[in-house]
Amino acid sequence: MIFVSEEESAALITHELAFSAVRAALIAAASDDSRVFPAVLGRASDPGNTFSIKSGSTADITGLKVGSFWNRNPERGLPRHNSAIILLDQEVGRLRAVVEAGRVNAYRTAAADAVAADLLARPDAETLAIFGAGNQARHEVSALKRIRPIKRVFIVARNPSQAEAMVRQCREDGLEVALATPEEACRAADIIVTATPARAPLFEPEWVRPGTHVASMGSDAPGKQELPVGLFARARLFCDLPSQSITIGEFQHVRTQVEAGELILGQLGAALEGRIPGRTAADEITVFDSSGISIQDLYIGQMIVDRLL
């Protein structure tokens, strides 16, 4: 059995590796031989500490990811989020590899955003509005500026110290950056990304300009919501996995309309393969919901193991 420590996986992960792994995983998740099983959401003895278990398989990989959120970890000098990827031997079911993947998980999440934006955002998208200024939001900016000519970033955040730290990072990366209100950010943006734990919409649908690409990265549990449902009728809708997105993702709030066919929800992997269209016009609004699927974790875990070996 192979064990990869947090320090080893953090040293190996790059945005390039994450993009490659997640793109392949999203395509695999849209194939007939993939299986993604319902997420298990749990709580520790302290109800503020939560975890999730996401599992799945394809023709060549099987396993699960355990993601944890320990609310008071910053008081101990530790990150709130952590992750472990467990790969099983396809033949006999024994442990093949365990990968500690706290930092890897942030890269994986940002890579899903980048893969979707690479397909759905306009090629000339220069202005990014980002809701949230935590660790994940910073990774989102770094991943997106690899695949689009991002010049300006508007940050919408509630935590002043996090916001200022993110402003400094963006400036160090050569970006024009400013703190903004939700309306200011949305009205200026070519790409809008939400990376928060919100449980209510963060902006109004009429603030989104034609041609904008919108990505929700934070909705991954019942009750979470970042986007206004009024936006969906004006947009083309995509997600990583429809069955999960309408259960714990952003589209849980329009599940009835999706199941009735009133809203059409496309799977990103099918669009990446060209089986359904991506963006079809410069003035289209596109929406991507990333609820986070296990196959992404398994693919990136395998790439980490391959690189280590």
Q: Sketch out the chain's domains with CATH numbers.
A: 2-104+295-308 (3.30.1780.10), 112-293 (3.40.50.720)
Kindly name the residue from 65, 145, 151, 224 that is annotated as catalytic. Answer: 65
**Does 65 qualify as catalytic in the annotation?**
yes
Spatial CA neighbour of 273 closest among 4, 29, 60, 1: 29
Query: How confident is residue 174, by pLDDT bands cut at 50, 70 and 90?
Result: very high
What pLDDT shows up at residue 108?
97
What pLDDT shows up at residue 53?
96
Give every strand in the sheet of 213-216, ordered side by side.
Answer: 176-179, 152-156, 127-131, 191-194, 213-216, 285-289, 235-239, 265-267
Each residue of 210-268: pLDDT tens digit?
Answer: 999 999 999 998 999 999 999 999 999 999 999 999 999 999 999 999 999 999 999 99
| Tokens standing for residue 261 | 């066919």
Residue with tokens 């393969």: 273
What pLDDT shows up at residue 173?
93
Who has greater pLDDT, 182 or 79? 182
Each residue of 46-90: pLDDT tens digit?
Answer: 998 999 999 999 998 999 999 999 989 988 988 888 999 999 999
What pTM value is reported for the model? 0.95
Each residue of 96-149: pLDDT tens digit?
Answer: 999 999 999 999 999 999 999 999 999 999 999 999 999 999 999 999 999 999
